[in-house]
Amino acid sequence: MDVTLAAGGAWTDPACPVARTVDLIGDRWSLLIIRDAMDGATTFTEFHQRLGIARNILTDRLRKLVEYGILDKSAATDGRRHTYRLTEAGQDLFTAVVALRQWGERHAFAPDEPHSILVDDQGRELPELHPLGQDGAPLSAEASHVRKTA
């Protein structure tokens, strides 16, 4: 299930997709939960240990992410564990996570400061992600604008 039906509607800006996305995952923890899910975390305890988030807040965020259709919760074969997995919509956040990560790599670390990097199966660093126009050339913010729809 997609987000669509969730959250009756107290959107920051009802027609803007950026605002909606921020309303759903624009807090201190949600994106980091999603990041860790992409990196293999599946249980409450795993998320808790990796993030150092307060347990009640983690409970709340996991519940909301499930409600929004970003995570799926199921009982593990284990019996006492639960398993949280990214839905298709959750996996589709990969692009956004990569974009935020690459910006951080470029602008939020000192030149000599160590930081983790994202690599492919062959251990090669990912190419930089940039919006392209229809012609395939990089597109800047000035060369684009928001069009309101009816």
Partner DNA sequence: TCCAATAAGTTGCAAAATGCAACCTATCTG
Partner DNA sequence: CAGATAGGTTGCATTTTGCAACTTATTGGA
**Token pair in block for residue 93:** 């956040």
Rounded distance, CA 142 to CA 11, Å?
A: 26
Of 72, 81, 89, 99, the one binding DNA by CB under 7 A:
81
Residue 27 within binding range of DNA, rule CB under 7 A = yes
Two structure tokens written together for 136 = 């395939």
User: Binding of a copy of itself at residue 54 (CB under 8 A)?
Assistant: no
Residue 60 interacts, among DNA, a copy of itself, none and using kind-specific CB cut-offs from 5 to 8 Å, with DNA
> Which one of the spans 15-23, 41-49, 57-65, 72-80 is the region binding a copy of itself (CB under 8 A)?
15-23
Binder among 1, 18, 54, 118 for DNA (CB under 7 A): 54
Cα distance between residue 90 and residue 94, in whole Å = 8
Is the Cβ of residue 42 or residue 102 nearer to DNA in the bound state?
42
Binding to a copy of itself (CB under 8 A) within 89-128 occurs at 89, 91-111, 113-124, 126-127
Phi, psi of 56 (to 5 degrees): -65, -35
CB 50 within 8 A of CB 29: no
Instruction: In whole angstroms, give the CA distance from residue 115 to residue 104.
Output: 10
For a copy of itself, give the closer residue by CB, 80 or 140. Answer: 140
When asked if residue 66 is in the footprint of a copy of itself (CB under 8 A), the reply is no
Taking CB under 8 A as the rule, does residue 15 contact a copy of itself?
yes
Footprint of DNA on residues 82-101 (CB under 7 A)?
A: 82
Handedness of CA 114, 119, 124, 130 (dihedral sign): negative
Please state, in angstroms and rounded to a whole number, the distance separating the CA atoms of residues 11 and 70.
18
